[in-house]
A and B are shown apart, each in its own frame.
Chain A
Amino acid sequence: MSRLGTLWVCLVFGFMYLPIAMIALFSVNTSDVMAFPLTGVTGQWFAEILGDGRLGGGFLTTLAVAFPVALLTTLLGAAAALALSFYATRFRVLFAALLLLPFLVPRLILAVAQLILFKELGVSRSLLTVIAGQSVIILPFTTVIVASVLIRIDRRLIEAAADLGASGWSSFRRVVLPLMGNGLMAAWVIAFVLSSSEYVLTAFLSGRQQALSVLVASDFRFDLSPSLNALAVLIVLGNIALVVIAEAIRHRSGRLN
């Protein structure tokens, strides 16, 4: 059973990395057409992408959006998860349904509707509108992640804290918060990644500054340059690095799960 399971997991991971392997392959192929046969090895595309100032600017814009979005959605997601589990509000079911809503609405439609709303309110498009719009669709993800950590914290720890004299806030700060640390970290990373790869809402809600995802999509429209493959390889590697760092932190502080 276990050997069969291992085989199956290997196959599935192989499937998941098949397109990534293609992207990596063509990021070092000399031809600028993404098609077989392969023509030779080059570092040209990586050089091109690293030397592209426009994409550099887009990258900074992406960071300027992704950092606040990740922070905001982690905080709100944590609040939502707490309201769903540890400090369950009376309107929990209604609240959960509301949280799922942004998840159900097709992105483009939500983007147009938000744009109409912003116009009615006299808010012009800027990074702030992008941050607001993205936060709403990423919120359900962070909530689920934090909640999945919270439901595994033993509720009796809170009782124990209260028993020993801790008030509600104090037991949150000294017991719940340290125990949900990993969940917050994971939520932050996921939110950061989702924000940086979001295209539809970003394209609709952004004003003067354009994030990397928008620039890449725009490049795609005219020219499928292999340097975009190189970019994707860098992004994937960057993400893996981010995750490895988070893991390392977790291990060093290592005490849970």
Chain B
Amino acid sequence: MNRRDLLKTALAGTALGAFGPAFRADAATGILWMTWENLAKDDYLAPFLAANDIALTKTFIGTDDEQFAKLRAGGADSVDLITPGLDKVEYYTASDLLQPIDFARVPNAAKLYDTFKQTPLGKVDGQTYGIPFYWGINPIVYRADLMEAEPDWSVFFEGDAYNGKLAMRDYALEGIMIAAMYLGIPESEMFTMDDRQLAEVKKVLKIQKSKLRTYWNSIGDLTNLFATGEVVCAFSWVPPYYELRAKGIDMGMAKPKQGVIGWCDTIAVPKGVEGARLDAAFALVDYLLGPDYGKMLAVGGPYAQSTSAARDHLTEEQQDKIFIKDLSVMDSFVWKQNPPRYGDWVALWNEVKAS
């Protein structure tokens, strides 16, 4: 190959790059879903795509906030479905990025659990903009083989048996919620803490920092930290517990009595999506709230859907795994909300980390 040939190849590549998208024959309605990678596994969606003439493209988000920053900066209408947290929906609605959910086109929404039907979050003037989609809790996960007793939140603030072996998620909202729970600040005040309470939170968070091995950023990162023994106990998501148990590591999961953080993600349709794309988007929303998807999510996740559509198709053990055996447990969770002084919370969190 001489230089001229190389140039030809390069030019051909350029042409491919510029016209690539146009080559695809596009008979089906194409929609784009911005979502977490673990919610859009190919096998979860295969029945839906087989039954509908819809071509689905997925783009994956790193954090809730990155999703918002990207859409806020660049507009949301190039995406047909997004996956904001329930507590974050008001960001999108305040920025006028979403359109209300048309419940007539989402029959499965009737099966939403009461908690999600009643929540004021995700709604503006009675209209729902982000429909609860799946939910779970963020517990403490720990290496039962390396810890003497089941920990609670105090392990992050007191004693020094596990100094340098703990990890906390690098996320202001949850970090501060945990400190508040440890300090005994009730849920009713938690999101509207005054300066004095925040100062106290800051003080204990600084103590917490001195005990940490590191802050974790992604769940894959934390799983790796557990597996390598760098960390024995962390505020976590659920997946490492199951994943590492499957590898034969004796993992424990603790749900502290001081409170457990509950979270819920919604699915929302950006403003400007219309016509065939809107139809396809709602069809997908309905599927995501339906029994087929719910069952696969419960087994594969394991995560709980926000509707009862799949509940009866699951064994008790499976139900227990995703906290829907006893539905009253939902009321004991501290559901994430968006604090009005969120900017101050983030500043506080950065001050602690930089101290």
Contact = CB atoms under 8 A, between A and B. Distances in A.
A and B touching (Cβ–Cβ under 8 A):
yes
Interface of A: 32-35, 54, 60, 63-68, 70-71, 112, 115-116, 118-119, 124-128, 131, 181, 185, 188, 203-204, 206-210, 214-215, 217-224, 245, 249, 252-253
Contacts of A118: 74
Interface in B9-63: 10-11, 13-14, 16-18, 20-21, 30, 32, 37-38, 42, 57, 59-60, 62
Max chain A CB contacts within 10 Å: which of B2, B74, B75, B77? B74
B69 interface: yes
A66 B220 CA distance: 28
B223 interface: yes
Contacts of B42: 54
B196 interface: no
A106 to B, nearest CB: 14
Given A131-B17, A185-B3, A223 B227 contact: no
Contacts of A70: 10
B13 A63 contact: yes
A115 B17 contact: no
A66 B59 CA distance: 19
Nearest to A64: B17
A221 B73 contact: no
Contacts of B78: 124-125, 207-208
B218 A220 contact: yes
Max chain A CB contacts within 10 Å: which of B3, B6, B62? B3
B220 A253 contact: no
A252 B218 CA distance: 48
Max chain B CB contacts within 10 Å: which of A34, A125, A223? A223
A180 B2 CA distance: 16
A63 B16 CA distance: 9
Given A34-B228, A67-B16, A71-B10, A119 B75 contact: yes
B247 interface: yes
Contacts of A252: 2
B70 interface: yes
A249 B59 contact: no
Contact of B74 (A119, A217, A249): A119
Contact of B224 (A34, A206, A249, A253): A34
Given A181-B3, A209-B21, A204 B224 contact: no
B17 A218 contact: no
B219 interface: yes
A195 B151 CA distance: 46
Given A249-B3, A253-B2, A214 B60 contact: yes
Interface in B209-235: 218-221, 223-224, 227-229
Max chain B CB contacts within 10 Å: which of A115, A124, A126? A115
B1 interface: yes
B247 A33 contact: yes
Contact of A124 (B1, B2, B69, B75): B75
A216 B211 CA distance: 32
A210 B59 contact: yes
Interface string B236-264: 00010000000100000000000000000
B188 to A, nearest CB: 34
Contacts of B73: 112, 115-116, 119
A56 to B, nearest CB: 14
Contact of B17 (A127, A208, A219): A127
A206 B59 contact: yes
B220 A220 contact: yes
Contact of B228 (A33, A63, A124, A218): A33
A222 B10 contact: no
Contacts of A128: 18
A222 B17 contact: no
B272 to A, nearest CB: 11
B170 to A, nearest CB: 13
Contacts of A224: 220-221, 223-224
Contacts of B38: 222
Contact of A210 (B60, B223, B227): B60
B20 A127 contact: yes
A94 B59 CA distance: 40
B78 to A, nearest CB: 5
21 contacts: A35-B227, A35-B228, A67-B10, A68-B18, A71-B13, A71-B14, A116-B73, A124-B77, A131-B17, A203-B62, A204-B74, A208-B21, A208-B30, A208-B59, A210-B60, A218-B37, A218-B60, A219-B220, A222-B38, A222-B218, A249-B1
A70 B2 CA distance: 18
A125 B10 contact: no
Contacts of B30: 208
Max chain A CB contacts within 10 Å: which of B1, B30, B218? B218
A197 to B, nearest CB: 17
A151 B311 CA distance: 72
Contacts of A67: 10, 13-14, 16-17
Given A70-B10, A119-B73, A185-B3, A217 B228 contact: no
Given A112-B69, A115-B73, 5 more contacts: A33-B247, A64-B17, A119-B75, A128-B18, A218-B62
A208 B57 contact: yes
